Amino acid sequence: MPASPVVWALHDGKAGMASQVLGLAEATGFPFVEKRLAIRFPWSALPPALWFVPFYAARQDGAGLTPPWPDLVIACGRNAAVPALAIKRASGGRTLSSLSFHSLRHSFNSALANAGVSQEIRQKLTGHTSAEMNTIYTHHELAPLRAAVEKLPNLCIKF
């Protein structure tokens, strides 16, 4: 009988992130190891995209991110996504990485915004309770932004 795959469930300890990761990990039916990441300074003060060496970001009192690498890593949120991708690279691509459905919220909201759907409707569809939160999940494509600027009258002044 083949051995079960080794599964790591990465999260940063926030209740919403943890519940999504653990729910997905449980749904696989495989045993898994929960790894709560404790991010240390100076990484905690930087956006995860600037964590050039993500394995050093996790404090020693948090989850250790060391070999042997898992077969599958499930992560949720920006603080766990960067280490998850680093694990995949460190394993030579042998580790499958899965970002949770939360990651799709950005894509879904952005696609709606770029299709011209109002913020009010996007907010209802994504379940955000405030316009400010919905704005955080909206990433506009360059083409609509450029088109908006092109609607301005020619502001060139000849001297």
Q: Residue 42, class by beta-carbon neighbours within 10 Å (0-12 exposed, 13-18 middle, 19+ buried)?
A: exposed
- Reported as a single tens digit per residue, the pLDDT across 81-102 is 888 889 989 999 888 876 555 6
What pTM was estimated for this model as a whole? Answer: 0.62
77 and 112, same domain (yes or no): no
Residue range(s) defining the domain that contains residue 110: 104-150
CB count in 10 Å sphere of residue 62: 16
Q: Give the range among 4-8, 39-43, 135-139 with minimum mean pLDDT.
A: 135-139
Determine whether 21 is exposed, middle or buried from the number of CB atoms within 10 Å of its CB (0-12, 13-18, 19+): buried
Whether residues 131 and 112 fall in one domain:
yes
The yes-or-no verdict on residue 8 having pLDDT over 50 is yes
Same domain membership, residue 116 and residue 67: no
Same domain, 85 and 11: yes
Residue 20 placed within a domain: yes
Q: Is 63 among the domain residues?
A: yes
- Would you say residue 129 lies in a domain? yes
CA gap 4, 2 in Å, rounded: 7
- From 81, 100, 119, the end of a domain falls on 100
Q: What is the mean pLDDT of the chain?
A: 81
Judgement on whether residues 14 and 86 belong to the same structural domain of the protein: yes
Q: Are residues 92 and 146 in the same domain?
A: no
Q: Is 39 inside any structural domain? A: yes
The residue ranking higher by pLDDT, 91 or 124, is 91
The answer on 80 and 15 residing in a single domain is yes
Task: Verify that 56 and 126 share a domain, yes or no.
Answer: no
Same domain, residue pair 46 and 96? yes
Q: What is the model's pLDDT at position 157?
A: 47
Backbone dihedral region of 124: left (phi > 0), alpha (psi from -120 to 50 degrees) or beta? alpha
Domain membership of residue 1 (yes or no) is: no
Spatial distance between the Cα atoms of 37 and 56, rounded to a whole number of angstroms: 11
Domain termination residue (choose one: 78, 100, 122): 100
What's the structural domain count of the chain? 2
Give the C-alpha separation, 107 to 115, whole Å: 12
Q: What are the pLDDT digits (tens) for 30-77?
A: 999 999 998 888 888 888 878 888 888 876 565 678 899 999 999 888
Give me the pLDDT at residue 34, please.
94
State whether 44 and 93 are in the same domain.
yes
Residue 35, pLDDT score:
92
Does residue 156 form part of some domain?
Answer: no
Q: Are residues 88 and 15 in the same domain?
A: yes
